[in-house]
Amino acid sequence: MPRGVESFVIAKHAADAARILAREGGRAALLAGGSALALHVPGGVQTIVDIMRCGLEGVKADGKRLRIGATTVAGTLAAAIELDAFGAVPLREAAAAISAQAVRNQVTLGGNLVGTLSWSDMPVALLAIGGQVRTVRASGAKRTLSVAELLAAHPRKVLARDEIITEIELKKPRGKVGGAFVKMARTVSDLALATSAVVLRVEGGLCRDVRIAVGSVQPRPARALKAEKALDGAPGDEGLFAHAAELAADAATVHADLRASKEHRRVLLVAAVKRALRLAFARASGNETYAPIRRPAPPPWRRELPPGEPGHLLRVTIDGTPRVLAIQPADNLLEVLRRNGFTSVKRGCADGYCGTCAIQVDGRLLNSCLLLAAQVDGCELKTVQSLGTVFNPHPLQTAFVETGAVQCGFCTPGFIIASDALLSQIPDPTDAELRAALDGNLCRCTGYVKQLEAVKLAAARLRSRA
Amino acid sequence: MTDDKRSFAVVGHSLAKVDALALACGAPLFTDDVETRGALCGAILYSPHAHARIKRIDASRAETMPGVRVVLHHGNVPRVLHTTAGQGFPEPSPYDTALFDTKVRFVGDRVAAVAADTPEQAAAALAAIEVEYEPLAAVLDFTQADAPGAPVIHDEPDAHVPIPVPYEPQRNIAAKIDARAGDVAGALGRAHLRVAGEYFTQYAQHCPMEPHICVTYFDPEGRLVIRTSTQVPFHVRRIVAQVCGLPVRKVRVIKPRIGGGFGAKQEVFLEQVCAMLTVRTGWPVKTELSRAEEFISSRTRHPSRVRVEAGFDEKGRVQGIEMRVRTNTGAYGAHALTVASNCGSKVLPLYPTPDVAFIADSVYTNLPVAGAYRGYGATQAAFAMECVMDEAAHKLGLDPVELRLKNHIQPGGSSPVFRMLGEGTEGVEQTVESCGLARCLELGAKAFAWGTRDTRRPRQGSVKRGFGMAAGMQGSSIPHIDMGAASLKLNEDGSFNLLIGATDLGTGSDTVLAQIAAEVLGVPLDKMIVYSSDTDLTPFDVGAYASSTTYLSGSAVEKTARDVARQLREVAAAMLEAPAEQIRLEKERAIAPNGESVSLADIANRTLYAHDQHQIGAINSHITQKSPPPFAAHFVEVDVDTETGIVQCLRYVIAIDCGTAINPKLAEGQCEGAVLNAISYALTEEYLFDANGRMRNPSFRDYKIFSTADLPELTTILVPTYEPTGPFGAKSVSEIGINGALPAINNAIFDAVGVRLHEAPFTPERVLAALGERR
């Protein structure tokens, strides 16, 4: 609970937020998603400006152009079939590759771009796809720059202090393109060690308009121009892909980190580029169909502003009961919930990697430890206690009991609330869909077998009841 | 007695766990879910140095800061050397730990503790404590810990062992074992084939979803109450009394629901700090570890180097085994001796041979403290043993399954190792009565389609498919040492209060023990009201460790229930006018041979209100004479990407003989959890250190444990046997499942690409390096 933060502003328009940034300079921090701020508010910040309710969320296709609002989250993008026609399959795959479901439901495209870290997935995909970034400043001035321009240096340096990304626009590609994003990591949910995104066309069996981006091995993603050139007009040949991958790796400045040596990251990068090329080529030439599993798209973030100034009183409905809780502007939501007696929300790691604190905010699965309390002002929060009681349990709770899915029970509330969020979107998930949607709920007791069985059982019962 | 399937009314049924519904509904059941009004926040200052002497510590500024109630450090707390191991008394671990010492021995060692009104004030106070360190040379390589001239980590003159076992702190040796039978050198010399291998395992953490947490307060009479997330409430009571200088009677320990332990919560290191903060302030104090503290300052799995050499005759029969083990106990010696000895005692008897030698030591280093971790040495040693067996099968031209079938211990069989290795004492001679390993191997192989595996090797470019297997055993309790007890009383509606000292840490032991009592008394499970682990209310139990609860505490419950059953029959005999010994207890009734019956409620009402009024009830305890091993066969299918080195575990089958599974679903759950933990450990989990001994990845971001997305297809097969010495034929199930993945996956990697790794985890870099060496 950093002491320096005095106010929390929920902006109605991006330009309003930009004006606060202009006025406050380094004393204000922009919240676009909020996971980074919930874990750490930079020193000197007195005001947090939340742009989640500025109407910047959503994916809109109008014939030739696809517009993605800056606060559209990865979870939405991973599920957005509209992207496919715009050659943006790599962006869907990159969005799906991010950490875990609750995190995907929070990480915004704009936030991921501006706050780009070496392992950020979506900027790599966007760089390969190519697109236009629209911004607004305090003066109301708007500008458009390419994704490449935005990522030419760190975006925080490219953008003016008061400049806010409002949307990303993709143009419909000429002809049929194939695209792919490949991530190499220690586990499925881990931060990437090497990534590559590829977009290309196939004309008469030859590669055209090849765009290759590589990521995670250096501070920012980069295009592999030499590799692209080498493949222009080339056939879809394994040897040529391997050669191009080597060129891409040669051009990258590969860094080591604690998870892998420089040498190994290069190996992974070569493999990632090669596989992304292979996959993109197969898709472009129609030899492979992109057929992703269904992923739950989170409901939209609430637009209505709570009355008065947020940040000191939290006006929420928790498990169906309206509450007014006293908070400080930078209080963490998990801490606020626990200290007010909502103890089914557990503290397992407090940095967004275990899912024991998962709740639903207006139906969207989120980790409460990655939220500032003020962010959810006016929202409806749902914990596992909203679902049922020992006297009248919910089918998910009953199924968890019957299948032996509850061992120590510490992860169970988060697991069940995540399952409920999934089933509300996808009532008949397959095994693969279950595993993908529940990937953020760690459990050390069960091996997950019985939990997955429980959710399937509950899903079947809920369907037959409906 | 193998394959004995008996039918029971309650035992052997997958009944819902007694606490599951409340947990699934998010009820406030854990330590931190109940607010203790006015509780101060406890916080701990940790050493930034791997090895240093504290030259000066000045807490005067911290002590005067707002909200700060007390600062504890070596200068104001009595020095009471103890062990944090959380074992029976006297412990087989050295007394080498003080609440606060004048020396720090690893990055994360305790320097001071604070109690303040808020977490922020506590954090500020920690930052204001001035500590001047004199850094010392550190021991960071455990293979060199006893090298001449190595820095001495425990140079304090008062460190000692409470029982007579070898202890040489001046050489950084925390424990040492040399146990031999027959003539190993001779046997190996005569062998047709000798296979030797040296295998290393890594630092890993248990990662219970609930980190360690403890709340302490004085009750109105001035007794210290400790509500804590522990596996060993009775040991907590004893150790806190010892360290805080309180009589045992002044301490009460309550264990609420526990968010997982896996051995980490056998260790008693937080309760004494929290208790001392309460003792000094008079205030309630809550001290909880963050996830980073859980990694850095709680307990870990002993890293190890295990060298196995085994001899075989032409037919593949084992002719002598020598196992040499070194474990790294870290900065303190908790469990040093016993984990090392379990490397031998839980692995070597699987392949009995009269010529066997086990030479082990455990060394101090300036690294995180190792402790009890599910598997407890067997995990480390089975890795080496089962890889050596695989290599032998390969060299003998035998199927790995067949080599195990030829050699594994049989019902009625024994091993000199049982006698050679105990827990700080000599072992206990035993013959194995139940052993379903042959059937585990058979059923596991069948479910896995082991025989036709060669037809399932798809050609996928750089990705190679491999199949591997391993066998294993564990024990059930520590014979002649562990004790468990239970009490049971009848209520007027024919229900019972079952009070047990045994500690359910999420395993389901409350349920399993209640099923045993219900079976004896002929009542359904919901007539058992279970309350466990409260040192004021429940009888003693050593706690949840050593795979003991079902077997040991279960036997105590069975005895107690039989005692109560006898009392019920006696009253029923008077009511039904039939001989007591002929009365059956069934369906909540006492039934005479002529079919006449009375309900248990009738019996209760009679004895509580009407005739010969007395409370029907009993208390009884049990100590085991044996530690019957459960057995398991593991089969795994992997893909090895020769381009990236990435190993993906695709399919895993475990077939396990745990005797009678008192609750099959819970037994399966134990296996599944253990197996996934083991796969995650084999492939990714490891502590990464910098050159100064600081852990670099103390978070779930950087220390990855498997999620649903990483889960292979996992099959558990329970292979019933009947263990005559266990309650209703039961043996243990909780630990054994974790010992197979390291060797099975390594054997599968060998099967896929022809290289054998000698160091875990099998990261892509290590796989590529091994492939590179072969080329």
Facing residue for B672 by CB, picked from A258, A441, A449? A449
* Average pLDDT rounded to a whole number, residues B305-324: 98
Facing residue for B673 by CB, picked from A354, A398, A444? A444
**Residue A152 · residue A123 · CB < 8 Å:** no
Tens of pLDDT, residue by residue over B517-552, are 999 999 999 999 999 999 999 999 999 999 999 999
Confidence of residue B751 (pLDDT cuts 50, 70, 90): very high
Residue A1: pLDDT above 60?
no
Q: What's the confidence (pLDDT) of residue A308?
A: 82
3-state SS track over B500-561: ECCCCCCCCHHHHHHHHHHHHHCCCHHHEEEEECECCCCCCECCCCCCCHHHHHHHHHHHHH
| Dihedral angle, C-alpha A348, A351, A355, A358, nearest 10 ° | 100
Among chain A residues, the shortest Cα distance to B293 is held by A349
Interface test with B, best of A387, A449, A453, A456 (most B CBs within 10 A): A449
Nearest CA distance, A433 vs chain B (angstrom): 10
- Three-class SS of residue A137? coil
Q: What's the confidence (pLDDT) of residue B755?
A: 97
Facing residue for A356 by CB, picked from B24, B209, B643? B209
Q: What's the confidence (pLDDT) of residue B5?
A: 52
Tens of pLDDT, residue by residue over B209-228, are 999 999 999 999 999 999 99
Q: What's the confidence (pLDDT) of residue A465?
A: 87
Facing residue for B684 by CB, picked from A186, A271, A450? A186
Quote the tokens at residue B615.
């409370």
Interface test with B, best of A416, A417, A445, A446 (most B CBs within 10 A): A445
Q: What CA–CA distance (Å, rounded) separates B343 from B663?
A: 29
Tens of pLDDT, residue by residue over B390-412, are 999 999 999 999 999 999 999 99
Q: What's the confidence (pLDDT) of residue B59?
A: 98
Yes or no, beta carbons of A435 and B711 under 8 Å apart = yes
Task: Please list every residue in chain B whose beta carbon sits closer than 8 Å to the beta carbon of residue A442.
Answer: 207, 209, 700, 705, 707
Yes or no, beta carbons of A184 and B666 under 8 Å apart = no
B58-65 contacts: CB < 8 A, separation 24 or more? B58/B129, B58/B130, B58/B131, B59/B112, B59/B129, B59/B130, B61/B128, B61/B129, B61/B130, B62/B114, B62/B125, B62/B126, B62/B128, B62/B129, B63/B125, B65/B116, B65/B121, B65/B124, B65/B125, B65/B128
Phi, psi (deg, nearest 5) at residue B492: -70, -15
Residue B425: pLDDT above 80?
no
Beta bridge partners of B429: none
Tens of pLDDT, residue by residue over A81-127, are 999 999 999 999 999 999 999 999 999 999 999 999 999 999 999 99
Confidence of residue A3 (pLDDT cuts 50, 70, 90): low
Residue B342: pLDDT above 50?
yes
- Three-class SS of residue B354? coil
* Average pLDDT rounded to a whole number, residues B50-70: 98
Confidence of residue B2 (pLDDT cuts 50, 70, 90): very low
* Average pLDDT rounded to a whole number, residues B55-59: 98
Percent of all residues in chain B with a pLDDT value above 90, rounded to a whole number: 97
Residues for chain B: how many in total?
775
Q: What CA–CA distance (Å, rounded) separates B411 from B390?
A: 24
* Average pLDDT rounded to a whole number, residues A171-192: 95
Residue B499: pLDDT above 50?
yes
Facing residue for B710 by CB, picked from A187, A408, A451? A187
Model confidence, pTM: 0.97
Confidence of residue B1 (pLDDT cuts 50, 70, 90): very low
Q: What CA–CA distance (Å, rounded) separates B417 from B35?
A: 50
Beta bridge partners of A9: A49
Instruction: Say which residue the tokens 């969020």 belong to.
Output: A421
Q: What's the confidence (pLDDT) of residue A306?
A: 83
Tens of pLDDT, residue by residue over A431-441, are 999 999 999 99
Nearest CA distance, A68 vs chain B (angstrom): 28
Tens of pLDDT, residue by residue over A244-303, are 999 999 999 999 989 999 999 999 999 999 999 999 999 999 999 999 999 999 999 999
Task: Please list every residue in chain B whose beta carbon sits closer than 8 Å to the beta carbon of residue A403.
Answer: 665
Percent of all residues in chain B with a pLDDT value above 70, rounded to a whole number: 99
* Average pLDDT rounded to a whole number, residues B696-724: 97
Which of B408, B343, B350 shows the shortest CA–CA distance to B381? Answer: B343
**Residue B366 · residue B494 · CB < 8 Å:** no
Confidence of residue B236 (pLDDT cuts 50, 70, 90): very high
Residue A48 vs residues A11, A20, A32, A108: alpha-carbon distances, Å = 10, 9, 10, 17
Confidence of residue B458 (pLDDT cuts 50, 70, 90): confident
Yes or no, beta carbons of B672 and A186 under 8 Å apart = no
Residue B371: pLDDT above 50?
yes
Q: What's the confidence (pLDDT) of residue B460?
A: 72
Q: What is the mean pLDDT of chain A?
A: 96
Task: Please list every residue in chain A whose beta carbon sits closer than 8 Å to the beta carbon of residue B666.
Answer: 404
Interface test with A, best of B634, B707, B716, B717 (most A CBs within 10 A): B707
For residue B409, the one-letter residue type is I
Residue A136: pLDDT above 60?
yes
For residue B294, the one-letter residue type is E
Interface test with A, best of B37, B209, B668 (most A CBs within 10 A): B209
* DSSP letter assigned to residue A429: -
Q: What CA–CA distance (Å, rounded) separates B639 from B620?
A: 52
Percent of all residues in chain A with a pLDDT value above 90, rounded to a whole number: 96
Report, in this order, helix, strand and coil percent for chain B, each rounded to 5.
Answer: 30, 25, 45
Facing residue for A442 by CB, picked from B33, B209, B714? B209
Q: What CA–CA distance (Å, rounded) separates A365 from A418?
A: 6
Q: What's the confidence (pLDDT) of residue A63?
A: 86
Confidence of residue B3 (pLDDT cuts 50, 70, 90): very low
